[in-house]
């Protein structure tokens, strides 16, 4: 095996608050040194050295994406490869796939299928209930033994209060978080058991009225969060709100944190960059769940990121076929691809000086690990050499024609930042042509 040396690279390591230019030396799958002015004679032997010229570049822990829909099991390997190209070294998949992740054997199968030391690590959420009506709890303990790191109904809320209480109580006993898609589906018109066939299509307000689309009231989010917080207090579980999108929801979470509730939350790039006015085009790429909200809600999401109410940013990746998105708006599928744009759109917050780059990296790496009780990623001596290399200053533009998954709500969006390398267990999982490499004897 050769040594790998990353010369003159800015190392950002939120776990130790390091932000400094150094030379990083990797042997096999471990970081063996982070030093100034590395010299080859500092090594004990004369094995070849793979040297990377990293002047002006940044090294950070790899992204942990805690909300990924793969749709079908056969999409897993492809999703892993695309994730690696975009700086994601770990991802957590939701149970809303085919087959549904609602029993131990399926979770074990997913874990075995995804085992590849050169591709992003795959973690799994187990389904909280066996069906979408939330009437029967799954085998949480057995799924946890097979590797489930949390429980959720993914893109559906856990709506039966008694069942949710039981799920929370059991999850608290085995120290696993409950992740909630916070939406009152009856209020949103999304409950299949509802007596009405009317389904919410976008955020309720003046624009939905003007467009003639069925509105989903923003209070559908906070109503669910408020109920769940009471149950979280009752059971002592770690309660996590996924893709929070409204001012009211964020305010309630902020208060719950101050009151000592064991609560965390994440958001996704559409909710801090876009608002409901995008729907004026009737472009189905903007048909998301939760729906794009008002400008005031968007600003509230940014405030929540700034003050720490929002703990993490996830891609909320949900790729859809073009056939299901070219339908009329009401019939089109819900969701959009996210893993290819997560890093770049998050970097907008840095470029616009909304948050520091250190905080942005924390929101994508250390904080997600904390939420799910995973090993905290750290760039330090004797630590696993899993990291990304990127240029924070290079101009980039998102072009839907260049993406491998569709659709995207960010087509044409400009920012700064580009992933140049993803290293997993010391080995290159992805290297861009712009990353200069040479082998020295």
- Average model confidence (pLDDT) for the chain? 94
Cα separation values, 289 from 166, 175, 204, 232, 235, Å: 26, 28, 13, 24, 28
Residue closest to 324 by CA, chosen among 289, 363, 285: 285
The bridge status of strand 215-216 relative to strand 414-424 is unpaired
Write the DSSP assignment of 372-426 as a string of letters: TTPPPP--STTSB--EEEEEEEEEEE--GGG-SS---TTTT-EEEEEEEEEEETT
| Per-residue pLDDT tens digits for 42-77 | 777 777 889 999 999 999 999 999 999 999 888 999
Do the Cβ atoms of 149 and 203 come closer than 8 Å? Answer: no
Query: 313 has which bridge partners?
Result: 267
Domains of the chain in sequence order? 3-59+382-394+416-440 (2.30.40.10), 62-371 (3.20.20.140)
Element (H, E) at 166: helix 161-173
At 135 the pLDDT is 86
Do the Cβ atoms of 49 and 23 come closer than 8 Å? Answer: no
Q: Locate tokens 């044409």: which residue?
A: 412
Question: What whole-number distance in Å separates Cα of residue 148 and Cα of residue 158?
Answer: 17
Question: What whole-number distance in Å separates Cα of residue 75 and Cα of residue 71?
Answer: 7
CB atoms within 10 A of CB 233: 16
At 98 the pLDDT is 87
At 198 the pLDDT is 63
Do the Cβ atoms of 291 and 42 come closer than 8 Å? Answer: no
Residue closest to 279 by CA, chosen among 203, 198, 179: 203
Do the Cβ atoms of 410 and 279 come closer than 8 Å? Answer: no
At 441 the pLDDT is 57
Question: What whole-number distance in Å separates Cα of residue 416 and Cα of residue 391?
Answer: 8
Residue closest to 441 by CA, chosen among 43, 54, 57: 43
pTM of the complete model beyond 0.85 = yes
At 300 the pLDDT is 98
CB atoms within 10 A of CB 433: 7
Question: What whole-number distance in Å separates Cα of residue 75 and Cα of residue 53?
Answer: 35
At 39 the pLDDT is 82
Alpha-helix runs per DSSP H in 218-276: 219-235, 247-258, 269-273
At 436 the pLDDT is 85
Residues of the chain with pLDDT under 70: 1, 191-198, 439-441
Measure CA 39 to chain center.
39
Structure tokens at 411: 């087509």
Do the Cβ atoms of 62 and 88 come closer than 8 Å? Answer: yes
| Per-residue pLDDT tens digits for 284-308 | 999 999 999 999 999 999 999 999 9
The number of residues in the chain equals 441
Residue closest to 439 by CA, chosen among 48, 111, 56, 151: 48
């Amino acid at each position: 095996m050769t040594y790998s040396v990353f010369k003159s690279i800015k190392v950002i390591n939120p776990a130790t608050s390091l932000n400094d230019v150094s030379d990083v030396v990797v042997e096999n799958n471990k970081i063996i040194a982070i030093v100034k002015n590395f010299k080859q004679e500092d090594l004990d032997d004369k094995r070849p050295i793979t040297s990377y010229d990293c002047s002006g570049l940044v090294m950070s822990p790899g992204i942990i994406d805690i909300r990924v829909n793969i749709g079908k099991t056969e999409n897993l390997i492809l999703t892993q490869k695309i994730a690696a190209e975009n700086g994601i070294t770990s991802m957590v998949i939701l149970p809303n796939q085919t087959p549904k992740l609602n029993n131990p054997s399926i979770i074990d199968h997913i874990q075995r299928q995804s085992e590849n030391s050169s591709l992003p690590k795959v973690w799994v959420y187990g389904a909280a209930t066996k069906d979408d009506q939330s009437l029967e709890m799954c085998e949480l303990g057995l799924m946890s033994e097979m590797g489930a790191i949390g429980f959720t109904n993914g893109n559906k809320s856990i709506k039966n209060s008694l069942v949710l209480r039981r799920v929370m109580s059991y999850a608290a006993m085995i120290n696993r978080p409950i992740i909630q898609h916070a939406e009152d589906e009856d209020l949103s018109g999304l409950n299949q058991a509802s007596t009405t066939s009317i389904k919410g299509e976008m955020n309720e307000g003046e624009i939905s009225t003007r467009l003639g689309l069925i509105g989903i009231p923003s209070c559908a989010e906070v109503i669910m969060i408020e109920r769940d917080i009471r149950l979280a207090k009752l059971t002592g579980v770690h309660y996590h709100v996924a893709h929070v999108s409204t001012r009211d929801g964020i305010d309630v979470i902020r208060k719950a944190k101050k009151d000592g509730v064991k609560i965390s939350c994440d958001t996704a790039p559409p909710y801090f960059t876009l608002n409901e006015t995008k729907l004026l085009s009737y472009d189905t790429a903007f048909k998301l769940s939760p729906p794009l909200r008002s400008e005031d809600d968007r600003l509230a999401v940014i405030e929540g990121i700034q003050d720490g109410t929002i703990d993490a940013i996830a891609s909320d990746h949900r790729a859809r076929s073009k056939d299901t998105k070219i339908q009329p708006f009401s019939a089109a599928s819900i969701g959009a691809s996210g893993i290819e744009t997560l890093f770049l759109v998050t970097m907008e917050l840095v470029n616009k000086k909304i948050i520091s780059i250190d905080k942005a990296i924390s929101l994508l790496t250390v904080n997600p690990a904390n939420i799910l009780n995973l090993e905290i990623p750290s760039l330090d001596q004797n630590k696993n050499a899993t990291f990304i290399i990127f240029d924070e200053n290079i101009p980039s533009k998102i072009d839907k024609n260049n993406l491998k998954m569709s659709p995207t709500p960010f087509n044409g969006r400009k920012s700064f930042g580009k992933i140049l390398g993803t290293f997993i267990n010391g080995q290159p999982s992805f290297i861009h042509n712009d990353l200069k490499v040479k082998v020295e004897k």
